[in-house]
Amino acid sequence: MKKFLTEFSINHPWLVIVGMVLVTVFFAAQLPNIKIDTDPENMLEADEPARVFDHQVKEEFSLYDFIAVGVVDEKGAFNKQLLTDVYRIMEEVAEIDGVIADDILAPSMVEDIKQTDGVLTVKTLLAEEPKSDEEARYILGRIKDNPILRGKLASDDGKAIAMFIPIESKNMSHRIAGEIQEIIDRHSHGEQYFIAGLPVAEDSFGAEMFKQMAVSAPLAGLIIFLLMLLFFRNFKIVLAPMIVAVVSVIWAMGLLIFTGHTVHIMSSMIPIFLIPIAVLNSIHIISEFHDRYQKHKHKKTTIRNTISELFIPILFTTITTIVGFLSLALTPIPPVRVFGIFVAFGILVAWFLSVTFNPAFAVLMSDKTLRNFGKTEDERGPLSRIMHFFRDFNRRYYKGVIFGAGVVVVIAAVGLSLIVVNDNPVKWFKQNHPLRVADRILNQHLAGTYMNYLVFDGHDEDAMKNPEVLHYIENMQRHLEKNRIVGATTGVTDIVKKIRYELYNADPAKFALPDNQDEVAQDLFLFEISGGNPDDLFKFITEDYAKANLWVQLKEGDNQSVVSVVDAAKNYLAENPPPVAIDVNWAGLPYVNVVWQEKMVGGMRSALLSSFAVVFIMMIFLFRSVLLGFISMLPLSITIMAIYGAIGFIGKPYDMPVAVLSSLTLGLSIDFAIHFIKRTKYIHERTGDFKQTYPEIFEGLARAISRNVLVIAIGFVPMFFSSLVPYITVGSFFFAIMMVSGAVTMLLLPSIFIMMRKRLLPDATVVKDNVVENVAKS
């Protein structure tokens, strides 16, 4: 097959190029149909129980995702001017398309239950603009005296005012947050307003990510192009791998869109993953072509020989990388599956083009263009000098290198044990991003911007009017509130207590749950007959009183923190059986995030292990030796251990991007080992003498590997400066994978070969000397 593909391409270059252009035009025509999906919830299958339950709870209690808005004034936020601003801002915010105006939590939008002179009143807390500072301070007092509002609308010290703005759909939050900001800018008098909340973080991340993509992928491509130009000093030749990269991106994305998939956060990263991988093979080919051309001075011969020597290694590195990404198809996370499958497809395209288009393109080049190609004194260039240093270093210290690798493995194992699995979409933004700042400040002042819901299902009508059940819920609240990150819990219990307290003329002794079921029912009825909005009540209890919804407000959205609260509830349930049969389950965005995260971690682990096994078997087959197969797995194993060990030591949480990158690490790291071992064997077949083989490894082969390392690693350096943390992570990973696996390959493999030279590269091999090259020439 390899002969056929290459021969065909060399003999019919225009056919290959025209064919490629036609297919590319077809796929490019699909790109305008792109449908974007930035909802992280879609990380879960549509029928995932946790997600279904979350939707059901939101539907049942008419709950919506919130945008949190806050204003902080260290001198005290409850003054006439600031509260007037807030009043006017909310009047306009309520009109924004997509805002659920009836459910806004803000001083001018919520009802307060109070009794004055023996008259019970349920009315809007701040019905009109405050007339004085005293009135503003009175409002603060009312908020603090109302367990339903406390910590939500104001900080207890009165330095912050907050508003929670429910929205129809998460996908609107970035736009709505922008409109809110615009309204704030028109009304504020220079105070600091903050906009936070998970939906905004998630949706804004999606919006910002696509902008980043438009910059990052082309920028990486440009730098890779410039670096190749620097190495090979021939614009036209270097153009070929770039064309291969761009075309494979267009095919992959075109097919993805053509097959009706949405472009999710994950799939938006396909170009950035594909470009370097696509370029890799081409660099090997050009590098080899570059090193040989001046020897043969004949285009077609050079191409034939180059492809002939590289076909098998390139095929295998391609398949291993594809295996790495295809393993993602085993994860339980749909967008990750789509990502894995289409990256794999793109890699296949890139391989196909590099063995067809590359030769075709090279044949069409005039001999004039190539006259000086490869003439640079590579054997004495800086890259060669570094490689020669490696050569001599290994020769002298090969035992030390092997020992060092062992030490690295041990240290990395310690680091691995320190890895903390954690994620928080808000932290996908950098520390100083306005959303991060808002998150920090609001959660410092208020009861929290992360809303989870704990639903008690008593199955029977009126089950939640049972005083024993209410006491049980109240005790659960006190138990959860012991957790540092639980800012407040609010339930029907609090409404009953508040009504009772006001009914008895604000008698603190009556701020407690009644022991009689009729009294519970009548207290709640009192709320409704006093003009309380029933919609407010039914956010905490269902109309048939069978289920209660406890709002659990968290100050942190880190999965670890959320899990600690979930565990606290679990423990409470285990130690305190409910008085009647009750199902207790969680809902809410932070909880849903925890669920998909756990699936992601588990899914990634099995994906990594299974692709590791597949690659190992492939290597044994490729090298026809268990020993060589084992040795070839060392660089990638050490690279993965070193990188993930470092993550453990640094304390960087194992989050979504880190998890996905493990398969990339595997797919890329194995490449160098394959090239190294396969081509070392070729060299040795030719020389038959380890003394000659060994130095030659550090010529063309080493240069190709080191060029690859530098081109890809440096190509991703600009991503270090991205405003989004996952992009920094991806960029750093590419950099680290290249550097570490390149170094391990060039240090450890030669050292092992030296140590085991009798076994791996025995001198007794019959010298085939130039047979291959002679055949090719004729």
Residues that bind other proteins (CB under 8 A): 59-60, 102, 115, 118-124, 462, 465, 503-504, 514, 516-519, 521-522, 525-526, 528-534, 537-538, 542-544
Enumerate long-range contacts of 48-51, CB under 8 Å, 24 or more apart.
48/595, 48/596, 50/586, 50/591, 50/592, 50/595, 51/592, 51/595
Closer CB to other proteins, 394 or 542, in the complex: 542
Half-sphere exposure of 417 toward its Cβ, with a 13 Å CA cutoff?
Answer: 5
CA-CA distance, 767 to 759, in Å (whole number)? 17
What burial class does residue 396 get, using C-beta atoms within 10 Å of its C-beta: 0-12 exposed, 13-18 middle, 19+ buried? exposed
Task: Compute φ and ψ for 129, nearest 5 degrees.
Answer: -55, 135
Closer CB to other proteins, 516 or 778, in the complex: 516
435 near 429, Cβ under 8 Å?
yes
Closer CB to other proteins, 455 or 643, in the complex: 455
For β-strands 583-587 and 450-457, DSSP reports them as: antiparallel
Closer CB to other proteins, 59 or 575, in the complex: 59
User: In the bound complex, what is the minimum distance in angstroms from residue 529's beta carbon to other proteins?
Assistant: 5
Closer CB to other proteins, 67 or 526, in the complex: 526
Question: Per the structure block, which two tokens stand in for 66?
Answer: 């919130």
The one-letter amino acid at 69 = V
CA-CA distance, 532 to 528, in Å (whole number)? 5
677 near 345, Cβ under 8 Å?
no
445 near 71, Cβ under 8 Å?
no
User: In the bound complex, what is the minimum distance in angstroms from residue 516's beta carbon to other proteins?
Assistant: 6
Closer CB to other proteins, 433 or 500, in the complex: 500
Strand positions, DSSP E, 483-567: 486-490, 547-554
The one-letter amino acid at 735 = F
User: In the bound complex, what is the minimum distance in angstroms from residue 101's beta carbon to other proteins?
Assistant: 10
Give Cα separations from 258 to 43, 268, 274, 322, 326 (angstroms). Answer: 21, 15, 18, 21, 20
CA-CA distance, 245 to 629, in Å (whole number)? 30
490 near 553, Cβ under 8 Å?
yes
User: In the bound complex, what is the minimum distance in angstroms from residue 137's beta carbon to other proteins?
Assistant: 22
CA-CA distance, 634 to 404, in Å (whole number)? 13
Closer CB to other proteins, 504 or 720, in the complex: 504
- Strand, coil or helix: 123: strand
555 near 527, Cβ under 8 Å?
no
Task: Compute φ and ψ for 234, nearest 5 degrees.
Answer: -145, 105
Closer CB to other proteins, 323 or 469, in the complex: 469
The one-letter amino acid at 143 = I
Closer CB to other proteins, 121 or 132, in the complex: 121
User: In the bound complex, what is the minimum distance in angstroms from residue 115's beta carbon to other proteins?
Assistant: 8
Helix (H) or strand (E) holding 704: helix 702-715
User: In the bound complex, what is the minimum distance in angstroms from residue 521's beta carbon to other proteins?
Assistant: 4
User: In the bound complex, what is the minimum distance in angstroms from residue 458's beta carbon to other proteins?
Assistant: 15
Closer CB to other proteins, 115 or 308, in the complex: 115
How far is the first Cα of the chain from the last one, in angstroms, to the nearest whole number?
A: 19
The one-letter amino acid at 438 = A
Question: Per the structure block, which two tokens stand in for 543?
Answer: 């109309």
Closer CB to other proteins, 123 or 777, in the complex: 123
Q: Is the dihedral of CA 332, 336, 342, 346 positive or negative?
A: negative
Closer CB to other proteins, 547 or 675, in the complex: 547
For β-strands 263-264 and 36-37, DSSP reports them as: parallel
Question: Per the structure block, which two tokens stand in for 154?
Answer: 């104001």
Enumerate long-range contacts of 645-652, CB under 8 Å, 24 or more apart.
645/411, 645/412, 645/413, 645/414, 645/415, 645/416, 646/412, 646/415, 646/736, 647/415, 647/419, 648/414, 648/415, 648/416, 648/417, 648/418, 648/419, 648/420, 649/414, 649/415, 649/418, 651/418, 651/420, 652/729
Closer CB to other proteins, 432 or 516, in the complex: 516
Distinct helix (H) and strand (E) counts, the chain:
27, 11
Closer CB to other proteins, 85 or 536, in the complex: 536
Closer CB to other proteins, 273 or 453, in the complex: 453
Closer CB to other proteins, 465 or 707, in the complex: 465
Give Cα separations from 670 to 316, 317, 339, 342, 634 (angstroms). Answer: 10, 7, 21, 20, 9
Closer CB to other proteins, 97 or 392, in the complex: 97
